[in-house]
């Protein structure tokens, strides 16, 4: 005897509702400052019990953000122009009860600061505002639309117990923008 389809549908809906929400990059904005593109975004639901346990154990814990500048094309894949990575890593010092937060862009240290409160640490690791990510390449005219997309790499895990895979969010995309028209 086959179970009724309604019962199976309800079971699937219950399983989906009970699944925890996945981390996601939200609020991606790109603003032009001359020919420089400044990017802001937020990583939501990334601080879970495993991340907090790693931090409290004093292990270096962080997130890597992959940021891409793309030329928008209506009926084809967007053309990649430039890309950069932003890595934010924190370490807990149990003696001073402080967190050291290091920010690296493409492997080079751009900022290092100390925070005391866990809420402040979470903001420092998941909120990026006004990052000077790109300079618009030569040859991009005022008529071409550009956009920025961002995703976060949260670390590694194993699949089937021994195959390493990366945990990452889906890509989040900014609104399309254009360079201002040149004055004649």
pLDDT tens profile 40-55: 999 999 888 888 998 9
* Residue 88 burial (CB count, 10 A): 21
Q: How confident is the model at residue 126 (pLDDT cuts 50, 70, 90)?
A: very high
pLDDT band at 175 (very low <50, low <70, confident <90, very high): very high
CB-based contact 80:68 (threshold 8 Å): yes
Dist CA 4 CA 149 (whole Å): 44
Taking residues 174-179, report their average pLDDT. 87
pLDDT in tens, 52-88: 998 989 899 999 999 999 888 776 776 778 899 999 9
DSSP conformational letter for 45: S
């Amino acid at each position: 005897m086959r179970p009724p389809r309604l019962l199976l549908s309800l079971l699937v809906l219950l399983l989906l509702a009970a699944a925890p929400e996945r981390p996601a990059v939200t609020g991606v904005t790109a603003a032009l400052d001359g020919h420089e593109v400044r990017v802001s975004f937020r990583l939501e639901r990334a601080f879970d019990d495993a991340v907090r346990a790693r931090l409290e154990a004093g292990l270096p814990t962080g997130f890597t953000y992959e940021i891409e500048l793309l030329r928008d094309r209506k009926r084809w894949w967007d053309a990649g122009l430039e890309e950069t990575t932003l890595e934010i890593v924190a370490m807990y010092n149990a003696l001073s009860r402080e967190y050291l937060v290091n920010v690296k862009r493409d492997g080079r240290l751009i900022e290092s600061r100390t925070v005391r409160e866990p809420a402040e640490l979470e903001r420092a690791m998941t909120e990026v505002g006004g990052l000077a990510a790109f300079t618009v390449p030569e040859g991009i005219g005022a008529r071409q639309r550009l956009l920025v997309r961002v995703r976060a790499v949260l670390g590694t895990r194993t699949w089937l117990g021994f195959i390493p895979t990366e945990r990452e969010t889906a890509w989040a995309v900014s609104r399309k923008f254009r360079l201002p028209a040149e004055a004649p």
